[in-house]
Amino acid sequence: MSTTPPPRARLIDGKAIAKSLKHEVRGAIEAMVASGARRPGLAVVLVGNNPASEVYVRNKRRSCEEVGLISVAYDLPATASEAELLSLLRELNDEPSIDGILVQLPLPPHIRGRAVIEAIDPAKDVDGLHPYNLGRLAQREPLLRACTPYGVIKMLQHIGISPRGMEAVVVGASSIVGRPMALELLLAGATTTVCHTQTRNLEAQVGRAELLVVAIGRPQMVLGAWIRPGAVVIDIGIHRLPGGKLVGDIEFAAAAARAAWITPVPGGVGPMTIATLLNNTLEASTRRQALKSAG
């Protein structure tokens, strides 16, 4: 007999929210092109053959087609040098028809991620990971915003939850997700705590959270019993268990028995990341084309 109590949480349907965001992006692109503007273009760069990255990149390229963005693929071998990649980025920075540049991470170990991110023109940094764009977010004047954290904010807006004044806890302090997530929540007015590998009592921190965002990259590490009853719970992890099942960083069924709202895995945050990338590319293109016509 199962001891897991029945779920009380409402599911945050990222797939459906992403679909409606993509629909908006598509409409905006068609309106923009109808008014004589150039169709936005996104360069998606993949280095090597990381199987998970190949899947993500394929999804990103397919989603571009769905919304009417031009996607240009650059697939470099795992043996490509850092200098070759940087030289490609310089070309893409100078290419007027390209509005966004996305280099899929992680990169092979001989290439410095930092050098690559910093080589992208901040105006084309649709991943929002360039220090300029992260700095703008830290200073409450965001321009291009990191896709996964911004996608989470859009998801919360969609279900009518404002982080303002909430006790928010982010578990995970990575540069791609945890840190920009904390900056987003701070901007949105939450009292924000960031937990990381040195945090002493993770369970106690998680238990305080009215809004919990977990991005630690370990399957089901946050136990359902830790969740504060009535919390809003966002799971950014995705892992395939040996049996083939996809799970997040949170023990889902037990967490869903306590939370008020929870994201499923899959079908939660993942689709929002891609929809936000498309939205960022539209924004970058709109801004670049406006600047160009302003002379």
Residues noted as catalytic: 60, 104, 127
Q: Is 99 in the site for ligand GUN (CB under 6 A)?
A: no
Find the shortest distance in angstroms from Cβ 263 to ligand GUN: 16
Find the shortest distance in angstroms from Cβ 231 to ligand GUN: 25
Q: Closer CB to ligand GUN, residue 181 or residue 194?
A: 181
Find the shortest distance in angstroms from Cβ 44 to ligand GUN: 9
Find the shortest distance in angstroms from Cβ 164 to ligand GUN: 26
Q: Is 73 in the site for ligand GUN (CB under 6 A)?
A: no
Q: What is the dihedral of CA 226, 253, 246, 215, to 10 degrees?
A: -20
Q: Is 235 in the site for ligand GUN (CB under 6 A)?
A: no
CB 212 within 8 A of CB 169: yes
Identify residues 121-140 at the interface with ligand GUN (CB under 6 A): 127
Q: Closer CB to ligand GUN, residue 104 or residue 279?
A: 104
Q: Is 176 in the site for ligand GUN (CB under 6 A)?
A: yes
Q: Is 281 in the site for ligand GUN (CB under 6 A)?
A: no
Q: Is 161 in the site for ligand GUN (CB under 6 A)?
A: no
Q: Is 148 in the site for ligand GUN (CB under 6 A)?
A: yes
Q: Is 147 in the site for ligand GUN (CB under 6 A)?
A: yes
Number of other residues whose CB lies within 10 A of the CB of residue 41: 22
Q: Is 44 in the site for ligand GUN (CB under 6 A)?
A: no
- Alpha carbons 262 and 257: distance in angstroms, whole number: 10
Q: Closer CB to ligand GUN, residue 32 or residue 126?
A: 126
Site residues, ligand GUN (CB under 6 A): 102-105, 127, 147-148, 176, 273
